[in-house]
Amino acid sequence: MNTIKDITTQIRDKKFFILVDDLSTTYSSYIVKVAEDTTSEDVSYILNNAKGVILCSVPEKIAKEIDLLPLSRNESTSFRFGPSIEARLGVHSGISSEDRAKTICALAKSASDSKILITKDLVSPGHVFPVISKLGGLLVNFGIAEAITDLLSLEDTTTIGLFSHIITNTGEVADSPATEVLSKKLSIPLINISVVLKYRLISESIVKEEASTILPTKEFGTFSVKAFRSTHDGAEHLALLKNNIKIDSNIPTLVRMHSERVLGDLLIDDGSHSRAKLLNALQEISKANTGALVYIRKGNQNISFNTINMEVNKIENLKELGVGAQILKQLGISKVTVLSNSDKTFPDLSPFNIEILGRQQLKDTYE
């Protein structure tokens, strides 16, 4: 597996790389390059090696500027397709590699020239298929177009990408071994979407402190409370802090990262023991007279009985982990003892300069 630096080098040099969607329920992989200065040879390379449909990732902001509005979303994929397009001038049938390269270059030019309109410089239908990435990228939607946009944004280039699904010679979607074989055969680097998401979570500041107050409680004593807001989705999170936190010391802070479950936390036992774990964490922090509870809320999400679903969403967990770690980092907490009822290995927080020194068990019931 290659690094972000390997991929940004390819982007800078306008060379190909492979991007793997390892966050969806089904494995898929894509050959990708920046759309700027696409040649007929580039299109032929993708057609011969990826064998899928020619697609272009288009950031939502640019799509709106050039009137490239999304069609109805296909709920079976994370794609938001725009109308198929063609360059208005200089093309013949539109399907040849040369014609499609001209269309892709015209679309790429739109990233720097908002005067280009689909009704003026591009026409529809055509033989190139835009996929519109949501504003906020992978922090908002876990799709291939968002991953490409995030990667291209790391370099001083157009944020429109050229990509195609990797298909085998038998017409099947390439699996992991087939993708790795192709990567070695073509000598092009390969990276997972999860690596791109982790990079953003680590390298960007995605939470901002908004307010603070004092919270007296009858059962657990007094906490200082800090409110944080996620910059990508507006979700508001809370950090409840007990006295005597030893900031930047060798003494670990007792920490509970608690992911919001509205029904389970407030109203009913939804099978997750969420309320019991929340109360037990506050009790343990109160007993120790020091510690922090970070309450991570979900942004732009309706309260519904889907909240009761016990299936673990590893993508949401990854994002919530990044939010929680950034809050701890802003609080100056660098060494922690984790309050948890799980026996699973806790994710590595060292990229956030946070060290996990131990674990303290939480009960599933509260008395």
Identity of the residue numbered 263: L
Beta-strand relationship, 55-59 and 161-165: antiparallel
Residue 164, token pair as written in the block? 């195609």
What is the structure's pLDDT at 352? 85
For residue 30, the model assigns a pLDDT of: 98
User: 184 and 110: one domain?
Assistant: yes
Domain contains 366: no
Rounded CA separation 112/341 (Å): 52
Residue 367 lies in a domain: no
* Vertex 276 angle, CA 367 and 358, to 5°: 105
Regarding whether 196 and 302 lie in a shared domain, the answer is no
Give the three-state DSSP class for 283: helix
**Residues 6+ positions from 296 with CB-CB distance below 8 Å:** 237, 257, 258, 259, 260, 320, 323, 324
Residues 142 and 262 in one domain: no
**3-class DSSP state of 192:** strand
Residues 55 and 157 in one domain: yes
Asked whether the predicted pLDDT for residue 317 surpasses 50, the reply is yes
Cα–Cα distance for residue pair 25/108, rounded to 1 Å: 31
Same domain, 142 and 237: no
Which residues share a beta bridge with 293? 240, 256
Q: Are strands 355-361 and 291-296 parallel, antiparallel or unpaired?
A: unpaired
Other beta carbons within 10 angstroms of residue 316's beta carbon come to 14
Query: Do 115 and 216 have their domain in common?
Result: no
Report pLDDT for 146: 93
Closest CA to 331 of 235, 234, 223, 259: 223
133-144 pLDDT, tens digit per residue, is: 988 888 888 889
Q: What integer is the mean pLDDT of 80-92? A: 90
> For residue 207, what is the enclosing H or E element?
strand 207-217
Q: What pLDDT score does 268 carry? A: 60
Side chain identity at residue 160, one-letter code:
I
The secondary structure element, H or E, covering residue 184 is helix 176-186
The pLDDT of 321-334, averaged and rounded, is 89
What is the C-alpha separation between 77 and 183, in angstroms, rounded? 24
d(CA 288, CA 245): 11
Same domain, 171 and 214: no
| Same-domain status, 154 and 8 | yes
CATH of the domain at 309: 3.40.50.10990
Predicted confidence (pLDDT) per residue in 202-247, tens digit = 888 889 999 999 999 999 999 999 999 998 888 899 999 997 676 6
Give the pair of three-digit tokens for residue 38: 């696409």
For residue 280, the enclosing domain spans 207-361
5-19 mean pLDDT = 96
pTM value is 0.78
pLDDT confidence tier of residue 154, bands split at 50, 70 and 90: very high
**pLDDT reported for residue 156:** 78
Residue from 2, 10, 312 nearest 184 by CA: 2
pLDDT attached to residue 101:
95
